[in-house]
Chains A and B, each alone.
Chain A
Amino acid sequence: MTRVMARSGRAQVPTLTAQETASPAPHRGSGERRAWVHTAIGVVILAVLLFPLYWMINASFQASGALLKPEPSYFPTSFTLDGYRSTFATQGGNVVTSLVVSLGTVVITLLLATPAAYALAKLRVPGRTSLMLVVITVQMIPGIVMANALYIVFARLGLIDNYLGLMLADATTAVPFAILIMRAFMQDIPQEIMEAARIDGAGELGVFRSIILPMSRNSIITAGLFAFLHGWSDFLFAVTLTTGSAFTPVTVGIYRFMGAQTADWNGVMATATVASIPAVFLLILAQKYIAAGITGGAVKE
């Protein structure tokens, strides 16, 4: 009974509150205040966890070497925008490139992984276990081995300096992961709902489209998010499968500020900061969808 109830999703309801009392109707004023206390604690948690990031931004505004003092300056006292200036001037296009590649990776990953996850979770496909084991195992192949092998094949197929090639390569890091994550989530979809749909005459594709996909929205978005991040932060395939003459993802563009013996850390940090901004926007967007929860009402209590 608990399991069934667990699977009927609910939207917009807080799931856990540690200090909630048994009183059914808390006074509105104290509830609001309590909410802001949570926010304050949340901000403190964020500050502690993101301190290294703050340190990076601090460094990016200062002259190089300014942080190399026994008592480092916690605030940028010597302000310089040089790093940011050179970053905007040179990396803007690379950010767009990375965006395109990442979005393509998401599309490819979801197209391949979502049906496969469903098949592994719900449909009685023989050899399911072996396929899952393969999917787990292939993630261990070292990236450089993948890069070497893919380079050889792509060079032959003319897929070097090719957007689609890079997207397909980046998807290798995302597809196994997406399959496993979505499968784990899809497992919980109650069989009864699917049976009901089938009895109502829906074909398998219909079941997939109208039941599975909506109910898996959380995991699909999560998998898509990670696919995006894999594509965005990939360096190895970006460096291997491009020659710099066509397009340059932002992870490779960062080397404009790093040489064999010198590193302009202002520029590096500035690039990292600037490069993170689009991804942050997307994260916030994606988080909104995940927070909305699974569409409820599929199983009447």
Chain B
Amino acid sequence: MTTGTHRITRTSTPPRKLMALGAGILGTSLALSACSGTTAPGASSAGAAASVAPASSITEIDYFTDATSSDAFKKVLDTCSAQTGVTIQRQSLPLKELLPKVLQGASSGTMPDLAFVDNVNVQQLAETGALTPVDDYGFDLSGYVKGIVDATTLDGKNYGVSPAINTLALFYNKKMFADAGLTPPTTWDELKKDAAALTSGSRYGFAVSAPASEEGTWQFLPFFWSNGGDLTKLTDAPSVEALTYLTSFVKDGSMSQSVVNWAQADVADQFIAGNAAMMINGPWNISKIDKSGKVEYGIIPIPTPKAGQDPVVPLGGEVGVIPATGGATQAAAAEVLKCMTADAQMLEWAQGNTRIAPRGSTATEEIKALPVLAPFATTVKTARARTTGLGAKYPVISQALWTAIQSALTGAQSPEAALQAAQQSVG
């Protein structure tokens, strides 16, 4: 390599070059962090929203990406854009990418003026201070399902208004039931027996969705809550009973172990293909099942531990929130959101997307047109929001719970041990 003579002419040594690099990085980043990290631009104008003239154009973001939902949503947006005179610049992203985008916007002061997020995220977003309370804009929330208002309320202030909600129910294959001479179940015992009776060959009696994501927790909550389970007390008897119950389906072979890998969409596919006689799922599948034309199905409320009880189901659905982006844009966003949650638009969106209208009276109208949604509309009235009383703690509990569900369903741990591990990880 180098000889002694050459070394004289070297003018810099590696450490020095490293230092130069380090200085460059430090300098760039210091400069950038000095520029970014601005404080909330519109924070002080929340109260002044009512008196500011609305802007003529707003930016919007939502998670309705697939063609059907996207087109239905666009129709509502167009109607409201025409009605309010506000141009809406729309962006739709998959839900997984939506939150990072909103957070990036928060960092750089470029949040959208109107955002539709999953109700599970509202309290957390509100906690950051980035959202403005909807009370400031004079929304009329009378007749709204209590659950969804709970979901969006933090410290006594309401931070979002929902255009549509949904929940879970039991779908069953009418033909398979008729062939087996069974009636649809209403209690846990009946569900167990029916599932066992309907399992034959490559067909399973029952299917739920239990992946390593929020969907896993969401699908388990009807069983968990209906049995009296409490998300802050994962190791109590009602919680363990509920998980033991669900695990027993896999144990006796009436539910496939593959459910730990199925998203709700996959479960619906299995149901349509005739591989599952019953499934827990939501109203968004109705159009898919109808289109396939393969299954004659019925929908009933999820069976409860004992006869005569009402199931306690989790509340799902999107919520429109108004980030603090300045008085004018906030006012405009509020106008648009008010239009979107007016009876006519709410009805159009809920029907177009096969979800439930959150306002009781509108829901009743909706059921007249789509009677198949009746079971959902009834149960959603008493549905519970997942983040109630938990706020930002919910994601941690949810992750612990879905891990425990998977652990129990795959036989890696007993339900009791799994829930104990879950409670430990929550701390």
Contact = CB atoms under 8 A, between A and B. Distances in A.
Interface string B75-111: 0000000000000011111110100110110011010
A259 B264 CA distance: 12
A245 B63 CA distance: 15
A69 B12 contact: no
A139 interface: no
Interface in B7-37: 10-14, 16-18, 21, 32, 35-36
Interface in B121-146: none
Interface string B288-307: 10001010000000000000
A244 to B, nearest CB: 5
A144 B97 CA distance: 10
A65 B275 CA distance: 10
Interface stretch (B152-160, B231-239, B265-273): B265-273
A259 B14 contact: no
Interface residues of B, number: 51
B14 A129 contact: yes
B28 to A, nearest CB: 10
A240 B104 contact: yes
A126 B13 CA distance: 6
B65 A256 contact: yes
Interface string A245-259: 100000000011111
Contacts of B104: 147-148, 151-152, 155, 240
Interface of B, helix, strand, loop or mixed by DSSP: helix
B108 A152 contact: yes
Contacts of B270: 68
Interface in A60-116: 63-65, 68-70, 86, 90
A148 B107 contact: yes
A127 B12 contact: yes
Nearest to B287: A262
A155 B269 contact: no
Query: Most B CB atoms within 10 A — which of A148, A259, A264?
Result: A259
B423 to A, nearest CB: 30
B66 A256 contact: yes
B17 A127 contact: yes
A262 B12 contact: no
A65 B107 contact: no
Nearest to A239: B97
Interface in A257-291: 257-264, 267
Interface string B214-256: 0000000000000000000000000000000000000000000
A131 B17 contact: yes
Interface string A106-145: 0000000000000000001011011100100000000010
B68 A156 contact: no
Given A260-B94, A260-B95, A156 B70 contact: no
Given A156-B35, A260-B63, 20 more contacts: A64-B272, A65-B292, A68-B270, A68-B275, A69-B273, A70-B202, A126-B10, A147-B104, A148-B103, A151-B104, A153-B32, A155-B108, A255-B65, A255-B66, A259-B70, A260-B64, A261-B264, A262-B265, A263-B265, A264-B66
14 contacts: A64-B269, A65-B294, A69-B273, A126-B10, A127-B14, A127-B18, A144-B100, A151-B108, A156-B35, A245-B90, A256-B70, A258-B65, A261-B264, A262-B68
